[in-house]
Structure 1
Amino acid sequence: MGGTQASESHSLRGAIDRPALIAIRDLITDEEPLASAHLDDVLSPSVLEVELADGLVDAESARLDVQWTTQNDYKYHYTDSLDVNVRWGRHPHDDDFIHVPGLEHYHPPPDASSDPNDVEESCIKQSPEILVTRAVLKLWRTAYQSHSLTPLNASSNPP
């Protein structure tokens, strides 16, 4: 039972917001040449799947899974062919993340750790889905061009 409560306290609030995922998909398709994005289910999506033709540092491919809810909670999860994982999120965490004063947080590489000592405050503070997506794309593109994971949460708001 304890595991269920912890999992619920870290859950996204609200239903998946299909119009938001469509807007995010369209933005990514228009602005990131290395990306192709599609909903897992056109009528009732649970995630926007973004395939990246190249990954960060030495990864040959990558994927970004995006969830956005009607409560403006979100999760952007990057994973690549070298098993590097990173996650930007905005949702309740029951104050488990001791370095995170608000809802916006960042699970750093290489494993998108949920250890309370590892999770950081996110540099992304915007809430509209378009601005958050632009910020994630900018952080990813900066890390991609610098061949480093360091820039992924190293920007001022807005990135």
Structure 2
Amino acid sequence: MLNVLHLLAALAMAGCLYALWREARGISQSRGHLMVAPPLAFGCALLMIGLTEPDLQQPDVLRIAIAAGALLGAARGWFMAVDIDPLWSTVRLPSGSDGFWMVILLAFVVAMAAAAPFVSTQGQSYVPYATAAVAFGAGFLSTRAVAVYLRTRS
């Protein structure tokens, strides 16, 4: 059944989409703005953990998902093109739409996890996989943002 946690997870994903919209369009932004989406994504992952039934939780899968996302995010953040404006202390990611598309995928996963119990009687069994997907995305977004932030410091 739907509850407040579903609404909060959807709001966290909407906040991530809003935070990454400028980045996806290639508009200059402050370096601190890079750090807005990762806490929202991790908050959504924590909410999804709260939505998972205790007997269905898979902590090992979550650890692997976060580690894999972090590894890919660090590689992406380290090797992606970044334009730096030292006068205004802003950065622009010309090819930064990957984070936006990742969050669109995660929002779709959250919506499917919320709708699955209405479609199937076994719908709750999909929530741990959705949680792992959101954890993967949160790891990706956070380490990508940290890698870009560290690369662009003066």
Decide: shared fold, TM above 0.5. no
TM-score (norm 2): 0.30
RCO higher in structure (CA 8 A, sep ≥6): 2
Greater helix proportion: 2
TM-score (norm 1): 0.30
Greater strand proportion: 1
Q: Which protein has the larger Cα radius of gyration, Structure 1 or Structure 2?
A: 2
